[in-house]
Amino acid sequence: MFKDEMLQAPSQPLPIALVGEAILKEHAIEVRDFDTALSQLAEQMALSMVAANGVGIAAPQVHSPLALFIMASRPNERYPDAPLMDPVVVVNPQILSASAELVSGEEGCLSVPGQRFSIWRHQTIVVRYQDLAGHWQQTELTGFIARIFQHEFDHLQGITLLERSQMPEQTVMAQAGNHQA
Burial letters 43-64, b for 16+ CB under 10 A, else e: ebbbbbbeeeebbbbbbbbbeb
- Which element (helix H / strand E) includes 149? helix 143-156
- Residue 109 in the binding site for Zn ion (CB under 5 A): yes
- Per-residue x/- track, 62-101, Zn ion (CB under 5 A): ----------------------------------------
Angle at 129 between CA 124 and CA 134, to 5 degrees: 160
DSSP assignment string, 13-37 = PPPPP-TT-GGGGSPPBPP---SHH
Q: Which stretch binds Zn ion (CB under 5 A): 69-77, 91-99, 103-111, 166-174?
A: 103-111
Q: Which stretch binds Zn ion (CB under 5 A): 98-106, 107-115, 123-131, 132-140?
A: 107-115
Q: Known binder of ligand: residue 155?
A: yes
Q: Which stretch binds Zn ion (CB under 5 A): 1-9, 29-37, 106-114, 121-129?
A: 106-114
Respond yes or no: is residue 21 known to be catalytic: no
Handedness of CA 102, 126, 83, 118 (dihedral sign): negative
Between 35 and 65, whose beta carbon lies closer to Zn ion?
65
Q: In the complex, what is the shortest distance from the CB of residue 7 to Zn ion, in angstroms, rounded to a whole number?
A: 32
Between 122 and 147, whose beta carbon lies closer to Zn ion?
147
Question: Measured between alpha carbons, how far is 138 from 95 in angstroms, rounded to an integer?
Answer: 10
Active site residue: 106, 152, 163, 169, which one? 152
Q: Known binder of ligand: residue 179?
A: no
Question: Measured between alpha carbons, how far is 180 from 40 in angstroms, rounded to an integer?
Answer: 47
Annotated binding site for Fe cation: 109, 151, 155
Annotated catalytic sites, by residue? Answer: 152
Footprint of Zn ion (CB under 5 A) = 109
